[in-house]
Structure 1
Amino acid sequence: MRDARKETGKPVHLTETSDLSPSTVLDDFRLDAGSYVLWAQATDQDGGTLHWTPSRDNDIDWEQVGATTKWPDRLVKVNTVTKDFTVRDELYGLGQFAKYLAPGDVRLDSSATENGIRNVVYRSRNGAHVAVLGNNAGTDSRVRVVVGGQKFVVTVPANSFATYRWKGYGGRDR
């Protein structure tokens, strides 16, 4: 992805992917991915895909699609009988990217894995910084974050993701 961006000046957009690992998303963003769009992440209790449109008038045999397309362990499972739902734990790690990053944010170069902590860092349009840190280790780990002369030390809990936002020089927090 990084080579493609260098050659074309344009980011690679990952669409219709089904990898639910927040670690994969972090790695792909570190490699200059411009977006990460998950595919068919809401299913019914049987693993069938849910179609949220009121009409299905596009010459597709939806009954056949429902009978043959089963993804039983996606991100969100909606029980269409009881009207409740469950979510996988990955939703919370993935949410670090969805909640704190916005179109127009620019990825900054950042260090490689340190003390088991992987990272991706962005500067927002208003000058604030956002760092998403992932700790896949079974123990808490301390890491130092340094951007443009600003620095702080944090402990990232075991097997978790954490997001830190701070004002950049001359910027305002969002």
Structure 2
Amino acid sequence: MQDGLGLTPGEAAAGFVAAPLGEMGGAWLAMNLVARYGRAVPQAGALVAAAGLSGYHHLVTAQGAGMGTMAAAAPMLVVGLGLGMIGTPLADLTLGKVAHHHAGSASGLFNTATQLGIALGTALTTVVFFTHISTGARGAAVSTAFAGSLWYVVVTLDMMWR
């Protein structure tokens, strides 16, 4: 069975394997650059991820249900690269100047805020998706709703570097 983007679940999974591969590359890149460029590294990562999602939006809009596995994988590699550049140095940059006696509390607060942000971001993106689609929709309607929800994430990533 195919989903609304024209990929079988197996094809979609193969295409999305590119994201964690990109994240590994982004993490390596970030750890090599953060000592020199500091917080500019995760900010650049946000721009890279936004560019990848913009490319993905273009593919979904242009190809819709005809998009293949390789077309899905290319922008997800870029998205992963950007997300790796954000996530890897973020804890060190955020907690690096916290006094030793506050390290445990600060780390717990940082991790809680990170998890809360991920949950809220996922929930809000889902709300945006479902406001663009009706119950039982298939094919082009799903592609359109998905493309509409991507812009929400792109704008959010864009605000991170400012």
More strand per residue: 1
Normalised to the residue count of structure 1, the TM-score between the two structures is 0.26
More helix per residue: 2
Point out which structure has higher relative CO (alpha carbons under 8 A, 6+ apart). Answer: 2
Normalised to the residue count of structure 2, the TM-score between the two structures is 0.27
